[in-house]
Amino acid sequence: MKSRKTVRSGLLLWLLSLICCAHWAYALDLEEYRVKASLLGNFAMFTDWPDVVGDTLNLCVYGPDPFGEDLSSLKGKKIARRSLAVKRVSSVDALGDCQIVFISRAVISNLPRVLDVVNGRPALTVADSPGAASRGVALNMATEGSKITFEANLRAARGNGLNLNSNMLRLATEVIK
């Protein structure tokens, strides 16, 4: 008999693969950032968080928010024993309380400063800008045709004390070690 954790991991992997790889998102005319918002929630689930993080995972959008209300569905979502909170942040200095940092395209030029603030802390950096993973972002989303894909930078994640689940990494278009 499969354990609950195995069944849950299987279901989450199935959901993540549907979001990433299936054409149904396009067929249902879902907007790009609605799918990316769902991916952010899945990225949080497929990350092993250290105990020092506490009971809340703060998902912070740095820069202009491309998600609008699409992130609202993530507020209060349970990630293992933690609850997800959503914040909009306009200053790099305010990122110190964030465990998940989405860097919007409009401020990607500030990436070195963002990484200076979050590196070495349990923070998962996520972007959707070309080349962001090779520049030190842990997860970088891209749109390829009607699909949302992502690249993973294991060095960046591990440098912040985070482990990315191997089931999630199998779906990445590129894994930087």
Q: Mean per-residue pLDDT for 111-130? A: 97
Domains of the chain, with CATH numbers? 4-176 (3.40.50.2300)
Lookup result for tokens 């996520």:
126
CB 154 within 8 A of CB 175: yes
Q: Give CA–CA dist 115/91, Å, rounded.
A: 13
Enumerate residues 6+ apart whose C-beta is below 8 A from 124.
43, 44, 47, 99, 100, 101, 138, 139, 157, 160, 162
- Taking only the tens place, the pLDDT of each residue in 79-108 is 989 999 999 999 999 999 999 999 999 999
Q: Mean per-residue pLDDT for 39-43? A: 97
